[in-house]
Structures are given as structure tokens and as C-alpha cells.
Structure 1
Amino acid sequence: MAELGTMAVIVALILAVYGISITFAGFKFQNDRWILSGKRATLAIPIALGLATLVLVLAFLNNDFSIKYVAQHSSLSMPRIYTWVAFYAGNEGSLLFVAFSLSFVSAIAISRSKISTGNHFAATNLVLLLIIGFFVLVLSVLANPFSQLPSTPVDGKGINPLLTHPGMFIHPPLIMTGLIIIAIPFSNAMGALISGQIDDQWVDSGRFWGLIAWSMLGIGLLLGAWWAYTILGWGGYWAWDPVENAAFMPWLGMTAFIHSIMVQKRRGMFRLWNIVLINISFSLGAFGIFINRGGPVPSVHSFGASTLGWVFLIFLGITVLGSFGIFFYRLAYLKSKTSLESYMSRESSFLVNNLLLLSVAFITLWGVVFPLISELWTGTTLTVGEPFFNKLNGPLLLVLIVLMGVGPLLPWRRSTRKSVINALAIPLLITLVFFVTLLLYKIHKPVALISFTASFFVLASISQEWVRGSISLSKSGGHHNYLISFIKLLSGNRPRYGGYIVHIGIVLLAFGIIGSQFYNLEKDVILSPGQTATIGNYQIKFSGTTTVPFNDRTERTALMEVSKNGTLVTRINAWQALYPSFSMLSTRAAIHSTPKEDIYIMFSELQPDGKSAVFRLLINPLVWWMWVAGPFVILGTLLALWPISRKNIQIETS
């Protein structure tokens, strides 16, 4: 079985080398037959890598411990349901997943292309094949997941306990796939530059794949926050960890790109800027893979050592130097068709949005690389903690929230001061009422008050756009069924209103972050069975523990009762499990979640008497809304991606 997997990877490498060679020759000598042959190579690579993926999955299912990777990440006691998670638990498997996913998505992108010949297509395919070829080469030479052990062990080590979580079935694949999908718009842009056919034909494809990459990274980050919240035991969900930041930075870059590309599509502007943005985003994605798979900095998300850092550092260097070298070579041809006509326009708001997003990305980048620079320069490793990121990025993210409310109200091209005031008047008035309501409910912390108000302003702004649009469409249709008008409004301009739904998701996420950061309560207590602790208006009773042995672990569960003002609310269990093979104590928080607040109980440790235990108790307001944000982001993205087969409905709303 191992030989079949290795052979499949080698076949994929041969196809990649052939595809690169024949596509380059077809590009150089203007030979469409060779270019078409290169396309066929791109379409064949995922078949070979798919076979390799299948072989590795079957090796896990069959407990084939003769394969080193299977022995390292599986065991006889591991539930078969975690086979998929174990598949990408280490470097070799995750790189196979990345290579297969990239080749599969590339094949789809190439198949969807309206052209299959010509220099632009050839150059785009060539860039994709070079990226695919890099990962397959690493798999073949440095990280073969099918390497065999000299002798077959009776049992394997097993899967890392931190990975035995429902979120791990989706979180890593979304992050990895989101990072590699950035290669599609990047290759399209590079293809335009290399071929010299620098027009706007890559814009639609760039937006389509950019949205998919952006949404996958966003949902992946949210699932990662949920994983951290439930399993790491500190009661939080985001700590500006290097691996978190490795996905967050390209997400910021792609957020800027998918907004900016709309301006190029609508007005023919920002052509040069959009190339810069996709270059930055892909470079940040390459940096993210370097952080994830190279392991240059310690992280709570690191589950094993890596010796591949230098390989991904070279890949990152080639990516940055190559992409920006080509960019500067073609710089003279990247002039936009039009220019900004007014600072009070939607185009200007998009530009400010881009600059703010990149500022957050580069502040975050500095926080990630500073410990590396410090160690290289002084020999001392320094850490950059949450206060650095919160202090510098917090104000910028707040301004971005405000801009989410202002931008949609600004017209394209130009506006007058009077028209802007008229557009802002009603949302500002509604927001003022909300502000006063917050004061009445004793929300007095200045930063929280401002942040809540700014976030609500976005909702007021979006609501005005929807109401005005529905009324206008209803009047033009000669009826008064506003629900039908609203549905037609959404379907008539899906990218715009899908974006609004995504913005609502971002606002809900902001509400959850603000509430839990500024108004949480925390308490560490020691309780004996039958004792009760109080936090806020809640009483937490410890009823005792149960212990259950398993083949690979011993689980101890703390039975808890949660009451509010003397009335029983719920019974929940917090547990911890000791994994001897990993010398690790894994935990799961007991969480009772409502739209208002979460009751969070972490079973920290059992006392020496074997009866009393240490618990961390928290009340985290509004966290529930963070998880609700995910469906809004998914729904809005799907609506924005839904093809429009008819002319957009144009609604005058100002």
C-alpha cells in the first residue's frame, strides 16, 4: 500500500514537471497544442494526488503501522471517526492535503476558464503548475507520508488529544484550503502580467475565487476560536497566537482585495492597486504556510516539531521577489482607465478600507516576526503579547467598523455634502437612540460604549438601504408587498446585498467580542462535593466527580449544577482526560450558552484529597452572537457568488 501511495506522488511530480515544461514551451513558441497539453497535465495531477490521499486514508483505517506517519498519528484505540483528522495531524499528511486540494481547485479553475489557449491562459496555468510542483516536490523528497519503518510496531502513538474535537474535522481543512485558493486569483493576475495582456478579463475570476478563499479563511478562523474556547481552558477564544495570525493576515489582505476588485469591475480603477493586493495576500498566505508547517515560532496550535522551515522560507522569498519583480516590470502598463473624482465617494471609502486593513495586517505581521528578529539579532527570544495587538489594532478595527456603515451610503464617483448628510441622517438618529439606551442600561465603559454604538450604526445603515430599496422597488412594481420587493431586491443585486448580509455577520461578531472583553466576570474557586460558589447572579454547585477508564485515557467528569437567584438553570459537566502516551491532560469546558451570556466552567485540577477540585468560573456576555455570525457570513457569501443571469435591478436609494 505504501508503495502505491509513493508511486502516485511520483506520478504527480512527473505530471507537474511535464506540465511546466510543455506549458512554458507553448507560451514561448505560441503553440496552442502544447498549451492544451499543459492544461491536460493540470487536470491529471489531482487524479494522482487523489489516489495518494485515498491510500493514506485507507492506511489509517487499516492501522497500517508499517507506515511511519500512520504509526505517529494513529493507534488501535483511536476511534475510527478521527481518521480524517489524523490524516492531516502532521506535516506530511497536511502537505498531501494541501497539494491535493490545490491541484483539485486548480483543475476546476482551469476547466472553468472561458479560454484554453493563448498567452494569458498559458501563463496562468504555468504559475499554478509551479506552485503545485513545489508542494509535490516537497512531498516526494522531504516529507513523504508513505515512508516505512524498519519494523512494524504493534500499536501506534495515537492522535494528539487536542485534535479530538468536532471543530478539528472542519477547521484545519478550511484554513489550509482557504490559503491555497488564493493561488487562483494570484495566478490569474500573474498570468496577465507575464503575458502582457493586462486588461480586466481576470477580474470576475479573481473576485469569484477571492470570495471563496476569504469565506473559507473567515469560517475557519471562527471555528478555530470555538475550538480554543472549549478546549484550551482559559475562557477565551483569541490570543493573537502566531498560527491564528498566520491565517488572519491573508484574510485581511483578501478582505481588502474583494472590496477593491469591485471598483475595478465597476469603474475600471485600482488596476495597479489590485495587483499589489493579490500579491500581498498570496505572500501573506505563503508566510502563513511557513508559520504553520515550518514551525519557526511556538504556538498553542503546534502539534509537532518541523524541519521544513527553510523550505517554506525559500518558497516565501521566491513568491515575494518573483511576484513583485514581475509587477514592477509591467508597472508602466497598469494605468487605470479612470481616477478618483471625489474624496466623498464609494471608491474613496474602499481605498481607506484597504489601507486600514493592510495596516492591521502589517502590525500583526510585525508582532509575529519580531520574536524571530529578536532571536536572530540578540540571541534572546522576546514575546509579543495580546496588549500589543489590542492597543495598536483595536482602534483601526473600530474605524473599519464605522466605515462599514458609511461606505454603502456614499454614491459612486462623487457626492455633495448635502447628499451625504441626508444619507447619514436617519442611521445616525437611530444610532443616537441606541446610544442613549446603552447609557440607561449602565453601559458606561467608554471604549465599550463607543464600540457598541459604532457596530449598531452599521446595522442602521444597512437597514436603511434595504428599506429604501424595497420601497422603491415596490412603487415601481405598482404593489405594496414589501416582502416580495425585498426578495427581488436581494436577487437583483446579489453581490451588493450578499455583502450587506456578511457585514451583519461581522457586526454580530463584534458584539460578541465587545461584550466578552469588557464585561466578563472570572473567578477561580476550590469546591468540595456539595459546595456552591457564586459568580454574578449565578450559583455553581459541585456535585462530585465520576471516573471512567479507556484504553488510551482516563476521563474524570465534574458534575455541576447552575442556578440563578436560587432557581436551577441547568446541569452541565466539565471534564478532563489524562493521556499517558502523550503525558497530557486534556480538558473540555462546561458551557451553558444563551444570547445574553455564557456560563463557562473549567475543571482545572483535582486536589490531593481526591474529592475537592479547582474550577475556573466565568460569565462571558454575548459570546453566543459570535457563533451566530458564521451562518450570516456563509449565507452572504453564497448570495454574492450566486450567478446573475439577468440584468441587475438598479434602485435609486439616495
Structure 2
Amino acid sequence: MYLIGNIALILGLIISLYSIVAYMIGIKSKSNKWLESARGGVLSITFVTGICTFLLLYILGTSQFQYKYVASYTNLDLPIVYKLTAFWAGNAGSLLLWTFLLSVYIGMVVLSKKKQNIMVPYVAIILLLNIAFFYLVMLLSGNPFEMTDKIPADGKGLNPMLQHPGMILHPVTLYLGYVGLAVPFAYAIAALLLKKMDAEWIKLTRRWTLVAWLFLTLGNIIGGWWAYLELGWGGYWAWDPVENASFMPWLTVSAFLHSMMIQERKGMLRTWNLVLIILSYVLTLFGTFLVRSGILTSVHAFGDGNLGTYFLIFMSFMILLSIYVVASRYQLIKKESVPIDSYFSKESSFLLNNFILIAATFAVFWGTMYPLISETFTGTKINVGPPYFNKVMAPIFLSLILLMAICPLITWQKAALDRFIKNTLPPLVAGTVFGVILLIIGVRGTFAIIGLSTTFFMFAVHLLEFWRGMMARRKATKEGFLQAAVRLTMKNQRRYGGYIVHIGIAVLAVGVISSHAYSQEVMKTVNTGETITIGDYELTFNELTETTRNNNGIVYADISVVYKGEDIGKIKPEKIFYETWPEPSTEVAIKTNWSQDLYLVLSSWENKDKVTFVVKVNPFVSWIWLGGIIMVVGTAVALIGGKTSTIRYRR
């Protein structure tokens, strides 16, 4: 097994380098023989990487502790599902996962119906450079098949925080997003090398980009859900450096998805699109560098050895390569660029959207890197925490929500002001009335009310757009309401899929604004039989009990909960003690309804009759997860199509 694994890694590197050379010879000599040979090499890489992946899963699942990776991240008592997901718990496994996903993606590129496209050899070379780098790093510093000096009787086990369903989904979805962005990046570089400044590369990569954005969205949402349930601090987003590293490419790809529509439809924003996709790809490498370098403190990081150095070198190489290619083609890009006709148009609103998203990216980047920058130049490390990010990002995201509300109401090329005002007035009134209602019912907090009212305005705009389209279709086809709504959406998936995504963002925004502005927290030490009151809840501590589960020691508190005078049952927060881990794991107890979460943490205890609890009431957190689901549904709808409805309606 050891020999097979290491031979496969060496073969992967050799075949990658051979395929790069074969593609270069084939391009230069216009030889189909060499191009087909290189294509065969790509498919061989996919096969070889599949072997490596299967072997690592096998030795993890069968607890072969003679391998360092298996001994470091699993033990005999670990459930099989977490033995397998330990695949991506450490550096070596996650590098192999990245390589496997990338090998599958490049296999899909060369096997696609568009394989005869002149760009494919260039695209393959760029992707093969990435694969060769990962194979090289695994051989030099992150070999998943490295053996131990002495075979231990049992492994160290998996970090308790990673023994959660989030571990199964969060890393994989993020990696699918990270790796997916390499494909549109490769097409962009290929288009530049071939001096093809039209929108062909945009059309070829639209679905690749949407899929990458979809998985980045899933990864960030699942990561927040995982943190909320597992870490025990009561929140879902801490602006941790590694969280920020996955959020930044999401922001830039969001900008790219908007501006690529302008290039595809109008031939505009070509330079923007090239810069955005290059930046998005580089940020995926930057995020991986942050995780593995150990230069910044993070609960997500697993910096080890000199992996960070390798990633810094490769990231620098790809940045310099991109700058060189763009600079060498800049006059051509500039020559074929199409200017925006009017400042008051959908094109201009999309460009403004890009400016805001890039500003958000820079703000996150600056806050993430400032501790390192300050330490480098002053010798003092100044930590930048959530207060900075919340203060800076809140007005930026409020601007984005406002722009998302206005943009659907603005027409292409040059919008008519009177028509814009006419279409804006009803949803604007709805948003204003909503804000007044919040004040009347006693909701406080100026910024929160402004944010919620703006979000409602944005929601009303999109609802009204659906309504107008549906009524126009019913008038033309005499269909029923539901049938008209479904067929309207499926006849123009890109447009209405985007609207569904925006509605999901509105739902998510309600959860974020409410949970930040109106959460309540109590930390209290109580004796047996005493009650903690918070909001409409009364929690009575009954007893503290010890038990065992899966050979782990469990200490849990039995709590009776009364909500608005009604008994709603019991909850039991826990501390789990693992034999293989020095610190206990916190298992949060949560009671959820549509409007709020009761969130209870067993903090500490002096004895079984005197216990300290942290209790929080978090409003509308479940709306965050619901908003994420709606965003995924909208992206899936947009992925289906490219059709444009032939039914038009007048505003």
C-alpha cells in the first residue's frame, strides 16, 4: 500500500509535467498526435489521483496506524464516518482532496463536448500547472502515505470540534468552490494568450463560475451553522482570518457574476472581468496559504512545516504570470473595450455593484492582514476583532442591499427617470411602512430598523418583479397563477434564478441584522432548583448528571424550559470528555422556532449542585440557514438555463 501510494504520487507529478510539455509541443507544431497524447495524460492523472484518494480512504477506514496521517487524525473508537472525513482533517489529506477535485475538473474540461475548442489545450496547461504543484508539495512536505517510526497501538483521534456533520460538508463544499475557480481563471488566461477578447470565454465558463459560487456559498453557510452548533460561543461568524479567507473570493466572484453578464450581453467591462476572475483565483490560493502558513491565529488553521512557503511561492508565480499576460495584451483589451452609454443604466448599476463588492473585499483583507502588517513594521501585533469588521462592513452591505433593490428597476443602456420613479414608488412605500410598523411595535435601534426596512424594500422589489412578469404571462397565455409563475421562471432561468438568490439574501440579511442587534445574553451561576430568566424564557436547573457514550465521559445538565408561561420541555447542554483529547468539547443545547433560538451552554461547575450557564436568545438565526437554502435553489435555477423569455411587459 505504501509503495502503491508513493508510486502513484510520483506518477501523478511525472504525467502532469509530461502533459504540459505535450500540450506545448502540440500547440506549437499544431500536431493532433501530441494534443491527443496530452489529453490521454490528463485522463491518466484523473485515474492516478483516484487511486491515491481510494488508498487514503481505505487506510483511514481500516485504522492502519503505521501511516502517520492515520495515527494523527483517527483512533479505534472513532465512528467510521469521521475516520473517512479525517481525509481532510490535516494538511496531507486536504492537499490530496484538492488535487483529486482538480483532476476531476480538468478531466471534465478535456472530455466535454467543447473539447475541440482551441482554448482547451491552453486551459489544460494552466490547470496542469496547479496539479503539478500540488503533487510536488505532497511529495516534498505533505505526503499522506508517510510511515511512522513505530506503529502505535491506537491513534491520537480527531479533534472533537471536527466530529460533527459540518465536518462532512463544510471543507468539501469550500474546496469544490476553490478548485472550481481555477477553471474560469484558466479560460481567461487562455483567451488572453490567444488574443480572443470577445465573450467566448465568458460563455464557456458561466456554469463553472456559478457552480464555484454555489459551493462557496454552501461552504460559508455550512461553516457558520457548524460554528453556531459546535463552538459554544453563541455566534455563527467571528470574522476569523480563515473565515475571511473563504469569504473574500465569494465577494469577488459575486462581482464577476454580475459583470460577466454585461460583457456577454454588451461587450463591456472586459478588463473588469479579467481582473475579477484573476483576483478570485489568487484569493483561493491566498486562503489556502493562510490556513497552512500559521502566520495568523485561527481555530481553523493547521499550519505545519514549510507548506506556507510553497504556497506563497506558487501564488506569487501565478500573480506574476497573470500580470504579464494581461500587460502584454492590454492594448488589445483597451482597443476592443466598449464604453458604458449612460451613467443611469443597468450597466452602470452593475459596475457600482462591483465597486462596492471590491471595497468589501479590501476591507476584509485589510482587517485580516493588519495584525501581521503592524507586527512587521512596528513589532507590535494589534488584533483586529469583530467590532472593526461589524462597523466597517455594516454600511457596505447596507449599500449592497439598497443597490440590489434598485438594480432590477433600471433598464439597459439608458433608463428613463420618470419610469424608474414610477416603478420604485410602490416597493419604497412598502419598505417605509414596514419601518414605521417596527417603530410602532416597539422595535428599537436606528441602524437595525434602517437595515430591516431596506431589506424589506429589496424583497418587495423582487416580489413585484415576479408578480409583473407572471401577470404579463397570464395575460398572454391565459395560464393559472402557479403555472404562469413556474413557466415564467423556467423560460428565463438566469434572470429569475438571480431574483431568487436575491430573495435568499434578503431572508439571510433579516437573520444577520436581527441576531446582531437584538440578541440577549445572561451568564449566571445557579443552585439546583433555581431559575434563570431571559426574555420570555424561564429556565430551571434540575440536576447535573454524569454518564458515558461511545467510551467518552459526558457531563450534562437537565434544564426545564418555560416560554411565555407554557412548559415547552427540557434541554440538556453537555460537556464531553475524550480520552484522546485534553480539553472537553462543548455540546450546545438549542430550542428553535421561526423567530428565535434559545441557546444554552454548560460553562462550568463547582459541584453537582452549583453550575454556571451561558444563556442567549438569538432572534431569527434560523432565517440565515433558510436564506442560504433559498440562495442555493436560485443558483440551481440559474444553472439550468440560458433561455430568455419572449414575453415582455411594459413597466
User: What TM-score range do you get, normalising by the shorter chain?
Assistant: over 0.9
Moved more, 446-455 or 416-425: 416-425
Match of 1:585 in 2: 584
Question: Comparing 620-629 with 522-531, which one deviates more in the overlay?
Answer: 522-531
2:537 alignment partner in structure 1:
538
Q: CA deviation at 1:574?
A: 0.8
For residues 12-161 of structure 1, the aligned pairs below 5 Å read 12-112=12-112, 114-116=114-116, 118=118, 120-161=119-160
Aligned mate of 2:619, from 612, 616, 621: 621
C-alpha separation in 2, matches of 1:443 and 1:110: 57
Q: Which moved more, 1:140-149 or 1:331-340?
A: 331-340
Distance 1:206 1:446, change over 3 A: same
* Superposition RMSD in Å: 1.5
Q: Which residue of 2 aligns with 1:648?
A: 645
Q: CA deviation at 1:109?
A: 2.5
The answer on whether the counterparts of 1:124 and 1:192 sit within 8 Å (CA) in structure 2 is no
Contact kept, 8 Å, 1:465 with 1:653, in 2: the verdict is: no
Give TM-score scaled by structure 1 length: 0.97
Aligned equivalent of 2:440: 440
The alpha-carbon deviation at position 127 of structure 1 amounts to 0.5
> Which of 628, 631, 648 is the aligned partner of 1:630?
628
Question: Is contact 2:344-2:415 (8 Å) kept?
Answer: yes
Query: Quick one: distance in 2 between partners of 1:37 and 1:347?
Result: 44
Question: Cα gap change, 1:643/1:496 in structure 2, threshold over 3 Å: closer, same or farther?
Answer: closer
Distance 1:382 1:552 in 2: 42
* Inter-partner Cα distance in structure 1 for 2:20 and 2:609: 66
Question: Residue in 2 aligned with 1:325?
Answer: 324
1:303 shift after superposition: 4.8
**In 2: Cα distance, 1:633 partner to 1:112 partner:** 28
State yes or no: 1:364 paired with 2:364.
yes
Aligned pairs for 1:5-16 within 5 A:
5-16=5-16
Q: Provide structure 1 residue ranges, at least 5 long, that are not aligned to the other structure.
A: none
1:296 equivalent in alignment to 2:295: yes
- 2:645 match: secondary structure: coil
Query: CA shift at 1:168, angstroms?
Result: 1.0
Could you tell me how far 1:381 is from its partner in structure 2?
2.1
1:650 to partner: Cα distance: 3.9
Letter in structure 2 aligned against 1:150: D
Q: 1:380 & 1:46 partners in 2: Cα distance?
A: 47
| Preserved contact between residue 544 and residue 557 of structure 2 (Cα < 8 Å) | yes
Seen in structure 2, the aligned counterparts of structure 1 residues 381 and 306 have a Cα distance that, compared at 3 Å, is: farther
> Match of 1:344, SS?
coil
- Structure 1 residues 396 and 549, CA, compared in 2 at 3 Å: closer, same or farther? same
SS at match of 1:301: coil
Task: Give a deviation string over 1:88-135, Cα, whole Å, max 9, x none.
Answer: 1000001000110111112113322514363x2221111111111111
Q: Is the 8 A contact 1:469 1:653 kept in 2?
A: no
Give the residue type in structure 1 aligned to 2:630.
F
Q: Secondary structure at the match of 2:577?
A: strand
Question: SS where residue 542 of structure 2 aligns?
Answer: strand
Check whether the contact 1:160–1:303 (CA below 8 A) recurs between aligned residues: no
Relative to structure 1, the CA distance from residue 653 to residue 562 in structure 2 (aligned partners, 3 Å threshold; closer, same or farther) is farther
Tell me the equivalent position of 1:162: 161
| Aligned twin of 1:271 | 270
The alpha carbon displacement at 1:64 in A equals 0.4
Q: Which amino acid aligns with 1:5?
A: G
Q: Contact 1:295 / 1:306 at 8 angstroms: preserved in 2?
A: no
CA contact (8 A) 1:66 1:153 kept: yes
Matched residue SS, 1:599:
strand
SS at match of 1:152: coil
Paired residue type of 1:173: V
Structure 2 CA distance for aligned equivalents of residues 50 and 5 of structure 1: 11
The match for 1:413 is 413
Q: Is the 8 A contact 1:489 1:649 kept in 2?
A: no
* TM-score between the two structures when normalised by the length of structure 2: 0.97
Distance 1:497 1:643 in 2: 10
CA contact (8 A) 1:543 1:559 kept: yes
**Aligned-residue offset at 1:332:** 1.2
Cα distance in structure 2, aligned partners of 1:321 and 1:228: 36
Q: Is the 8 A contact 1:533 1:541 kept in 2?
A: yes
User: For residues 348-373 of structure 1, what are the alpha-carbon distances to aligned partners after superposition, in whole Å with 9 as ceiling and x for unaligned?
Assistant: 11100011001110111111111222
Letter of the structure 1 residue corresponding to residue 275 of structure 2: V
**C-alpha spacing 1:226/1:612, structure 2 compared with 1 (3 Å):** same
CA distance in 1, matches of 2:95, 2:548: 35
Letter in 2 for 1:505: G
Counterparts of 1:165 and 1:604, CA distance in 2: 20
Distance 2:347 2:484 in 1: 28
Residue aligning to 1:184: 183
AA at the equivalent of 2:342: S
Report the number of matched residues.
650
Give, in whole Å, the separation in 1 of the partners of 2:117 and 2:213.
29
Over 3 Å counting, the alpha-carbon distance change for 1:538 and 1:164 in structure 2 is same
Letter in structure 2 aligned against 1:590: A
- Indicate conservation of the 8 Å contact 2:543/2:608, yes or no: no
Counterpart residue number, 2:427? 427
Q: Contact 2:123 / 2:187 at 8 angstroms: preserved in 1?
A: yes
Q: Is 1:240–2:239 an aligned residue pair?
A: yes
Task: Give a deviation string over 1:576-624, Cα, whole Å, max 9, x none.
Answer: 11234321121011111111110000111122x2332111001101111
Tell me how far apart the structure 1 counterparts of residues 287 and 111 of structure 2 sit (CA, whole Å). Answer: 28
- Residue of structure 1 equivalent to 2:402: 402
Deviates more, 1:621-630 or 1:77-86: 77-86
Instruction: Please list the CA deviations of residues 210-236 of structure 1 after superposition, one character each: whole Å capped at 9, or x if unmatched.
Output: 111111111111111111111111111
- Range with greater deviation from structure 2 (542-551 or 456-465): 542-551
SS in 2 for 1:571: strand
Q: Tell me how far apart the structure 1 counterparts of residues 42 and 308 of structure 2 sit (CA, whole Å).
A: 27
Q: Which digits, 9 at most, give the CA deviation of each residue in 1:369-400, with x for residues without a partner?
A: 11222222233322111111111121111100
Residue equivalent to 1:315: 314
Question: CA–CA distance in 1 between the matches of 2:479 and 2:140?
Answer: 68
Q: Equivalent residues in 2 for 1:156-555 (5 A)?
A: 156-303=155-302, 305-335=304-334, 336=336, 338-477=338-477, 479=478, 481-549=480-548, 553-555=552-554
Q: Which amino acid aligns with 1:628?
A: L
Q: Tell me which residue corresponds to 1:639.
A: 637
The aligned residue for residue 610 of structure 1 is 608
CA 1:441–1:384 in structure 2 vs 1: closer, same or farther (change >3 Å)? Answer: same
Contact 1:599 1:619 in 2 (8 A): yes
Q: Secondary structure at the match of 2:200?
A: coil
1:26 & 1:287 partners in 2: Cα distance? 33
- Distance in 1 (CA, whole Å) between partners of 2:267 and 2:117 is 25
Shift of 1:197: 2.6
Contact kept in structure 2, 1:35 and 1:117, CA below 8 Å: no
Contact 2:292/2:303 (CA < 8 Å) preserved in 1? no
Contact kept, 8 Å, 1:167 with 1:223, in 2: the verdict is yes
Structure 1 Cα separation of the partners of residues 467 and 543 of structure 2: 55
Q: Structure 1 residues 559, 143: CA separation in 2 closer, same or farther (over 3 Å shift)?
A: same
**Contact 1:528 1:612 (C-alpha < 8 Å) held by counterparts:** yes
